[in-house]
Amino acid sequence: MEKHFVVFLSPGTFVSETSQKPIDSLDVAVASEMARSIKERHNATPYGFQFVTRSRGPDDLDSHETARSHIYWLSGTVETADEILARDNPNEHILRANIRCNGFKRIITNTNSWKFTAPLNDDDVVLDWQPSTMK
């Protein structure tokens, strides 16, 4: 038995808030539209999502994760580490330290609800997506 889910990722206080919803197929357009209905604490809305597949064999008591996709970002501004380090903005000293310590090559900043900045992995996809204008 196998079932697909989409896990929506929204800005949180210390870690990202997540909402997992069943989905019939790994359809980016369907998941992107589903994102419009997600609201987390403090009215946070998704900055992205991942697809997860859970499976259970005939002898398994419970299902387990058998596949997880990269992150599909619901828009955002992409910058290279070199760009951030070169501008030497005093307000970004923690960001610069994280870039240096962790070897991040690129970061993305999303402002669909709360500002959220994170490393952008090589296999991540940034979608051309606009948040709903209705509150």
H/E stretch holding 95:
helix 93-102
Q: What pLDDT digit, counting tens, does each position of 50-86 carry? A: 999 999 988 888 888 999 999 999 999 999 999 999 9
User: Is the CB of residue 84 less than 8 Å from the CB of residue 107?
Assistant: yes
Question: Could you tell me if 46 and 36 are in contact, meaning their C-beta atoms sit under 8 angstroms apart?
Answer: no
**Tens digit of each residue's pLDDT (9 = 90 or more) over 77-98:** 999 999 999 998 999 999 999 9
pTM above 0.85? yes
